[in-house]
Amino acid sequence: MYEIKTRIIPLFIMMVFLLPLACGKKDGKKDETKPAEMAAGMDGDMGAMDPAMAVDDAAMKVADKVDDKVKDAKNLTDPNKELTAEEYKKLLLDHASCEIKNDEIDYECPAVKALREAMSGGRKIADLTGGGDALGKELLGHASPAVRIKAAGLMSSFLGTKGSSQDMIVEAAKNEKHPSVLRALIRTVSNDGAKNPKVAEMLLWAANHEAPVVRRTAVYALSSTWNREMKGGPEKLIELMEKDADEDVRAAACEYAGHLGDEKFMPSFTKFTADANEKIRSACTKGLVYMWWSYPFHENASEKAYKLTLKILKKKPRTKDNPYWTIPGMFRSKNKDKFPEWQKKAPWFKQAELNAVLTELIKDTNVNWLGRNGAIDSLVENGATKADLEKIRKSFTGEPKGDDVHIVSSLDKAIAKM
């Protein structure tokens, strides 16, 4: 069941309902009532009405129609009244009028706004037999790309899409021509590649698609930890990071592949973390860190990746772009419940060694100040004491200048909280 929240009906929605009526139309269609019939009474023998009475009668009919429209609008946002399955379906079908922009349904489309208003929490959908999955199957073959995207979304589940839905998505993908719809189809089964060979085949096929957005979406699916045991996944990711013609696809493959923690990636990571292209280098360095520091579950434990990470962070001279500014802050994301168990798998990990490198980064004025601030956060998360931070703070003598202003301020705040 779906929750829907109450909101006040915007004035522009009321205007949308009133305009067709003011123009003598209902639901966008011409009023088929003939002038002579408008002027006649309930009984044809009564003859013609007084013109004034005819005007009053027509006005009353318009008012009644307006009242009906207002009631319909209130029903869509009334928390005490459930949406019917048909009302919900109509809200979805109305997306046929929406354009696709930047591979998504246009967020400003009136149909998107109407659905968002109706589904914002607080209410339920009555009698949605089979749930959203069944409705998604019904709408998956619709002529409109936007409706097909909504249909695919209805069939998805974070814990794994139903088997029958997986097969239907696979079949739909074979005939789908619109890249944005293919993107939605892939996302629906993105966690199912390891347990369904048909889905695995679809994901590997999508990784070779002519549209970069489809290949990039395939990367996210292939690198899902749910697909850790999927045959051919790591090899395809290596192929994409090494050879894909699109820079964004290569970067995505290099960054997200690290979530799988597969040692097969190490030759590529070793090469591309030293690449001259900043986008590729920074993405691959993130992927390298994921190989051993895989928050929130801390499942990956690659000693080779750990050693290469420290080597990169220690390398001098450092610059504003190397190491990339987000890297030092990655170590502030730490699951304290999972970390002790991870350390048993990673006896090679030395907390003092990591903290020493983070301390160097904080002091190095060549490093991007955002990265230095991230290093402070990581240091605090990884056991630095108040005395440790005060020692670093004392290394900044005199009045701080330039980027050091930010660093000294962050250190002072961190010390004050201890």
What is the model's pLDDT at position 183?
99
- What does the pLDDT read at residue 150? 97
Which pLDDT tens digit goes with each residue over 86-105? 999 999 999 999 999 999 99
Q: Are 109 and 95 in contact (CB under 8 A)?
A: yes
Tell me the β-bridge partners of 30. 25
pTM of the model: 0.79
Taken as a whole, the chain contains a residue count of 418
Residue partners of 206: CB distance under 8 A and separation at least 6: 173, 182, 186, 214, 215, 217, 218, 221
Q: How far is CA 396 from CA 380, 384, 390, in A?
A: 18, 18, 10
pLDDT tens readout for residues 134-162: 999 999 999 999 999 999 999 987 777 89
Q: How many CB atoms lie within 10 A of CB 13?
A: 18
Q: What does each C-alpha distance from 61 to 7, 56, 57, 58 come to in angstroms?
A: 28, 9, 6, 5
- How, if at all, do strands 125-126 and 83-84 pair? parallel
Q: Are 208 and 222 a contacting pair, CB within 8 Å? A: no
CA distance to 34, 42, 52, 55, per residue, from 45 (Å): 17, 9, 19, 20
Q: 205-230, pLDDT tens digit by residue?
A: 999 999 999 999 999 999 999 999 99
Decide if pLDDT at 18 tops 50: no
Domains and CATH numbers, the chain: 11-81 (no CATH), 197-307 (1.25.10.10), 325-418 (no CATH)
With 50 as the cut, is the pLDDT of residue 14 above it? Answer: no
Is pLDDT at 53 greater than 70 in this prediction?
Answer: no
The string of DSSP codes covering 59-92 is HHHHHHHHHHHHHHHHHHH-TTSPEEHHHHHHHH
Q: Where are the alpha helices (DSSP H) in 263-338?
A: 266-272, 278-290, 303-314
Contacts 24+ apart (CB under 8 A), 309-318: 309/285, 310/353, 310/354, 310/357, 312/273, 312/285, 312/288, 313/357, 313/360, 313/361, 314/357, 314/360, 317/366, 318/361, 318/364, 318/366, 318/367
